[in-house]
């Protein structure tokens, strides 16, 4: 019976220790948030003082990039299908057919009746790169 009581006392002590650690963690997080807020305030003050205020809020975007053409999207989709097929262990002819089928599907979605020549060249290049030993 003593061992059972000792076990219960030990469990209670461990439970209390866990509660204390959780409380300490919450306090440390609150202190960290306070310090981070103070850091941001001082950083903003320094940025204003040295004349580059607002630069911290600037987020770089990809707006400067030219959008892809429909032919490029078709080529990427077909090439990706070739790559996926080669990784799945399919033969060169199966991979090429899958790539061309996907390219035709994307071309139709883009309102085209056939796959653009640019896309066909990229798919062929991907087939050659993925199946170097084949003809």
82 and 99 in contact (C-beta within 8 Å)? Answer: yes
- Model confidence over 8-46: pLDDT tens digits? 999 999 999 999 999 999 999 999 999 999 998 888 888
Residue with tokens 């509660």: 19
Question: What is the rounded CA–CA span in Å between residue 117 and residue 126?
Answer: 14
Domain boundaries defined on the chain:
1-48, 70-130
Closest CA to 123 of 90, 84, 77: 77
pTM equals 0.51
Contact 122, 80 (CB under 8 A): no
- How far is C-alpha 52 from the chain's CA centre? 31
What local confidence, expressed as pLDDT, does residue 69 receive? 86
């Amino acid at each position: 019976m003593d061992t059972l009581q000792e076990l219960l006392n030990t469990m209670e002590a461990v439970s209390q220790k866990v509660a204390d650690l959780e409380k300490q963690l919450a306090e440390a997080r609150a202190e960290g948030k306070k310090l981070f807020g103070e850091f941001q305030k001082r950083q903003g003050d320094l940025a204003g003082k040295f004349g580059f205020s607002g630069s911290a809020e600037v987020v770089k975007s990809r707006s400067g990039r030219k959008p892809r053409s429909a032919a490029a999207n078709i080529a990427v989709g077909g090439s990706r299908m070739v790559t996926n097929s080669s990784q799945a262990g399919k033969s060169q002819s199966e991979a090429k057919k899958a790539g061309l089928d996907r390219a035709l599907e994307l071309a139709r979605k883009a309102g085209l009746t056939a796959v653009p020549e640019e896309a066909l060249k990229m798919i062929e290049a991907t087939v050659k790169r993925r199946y170097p030993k084949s003809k």
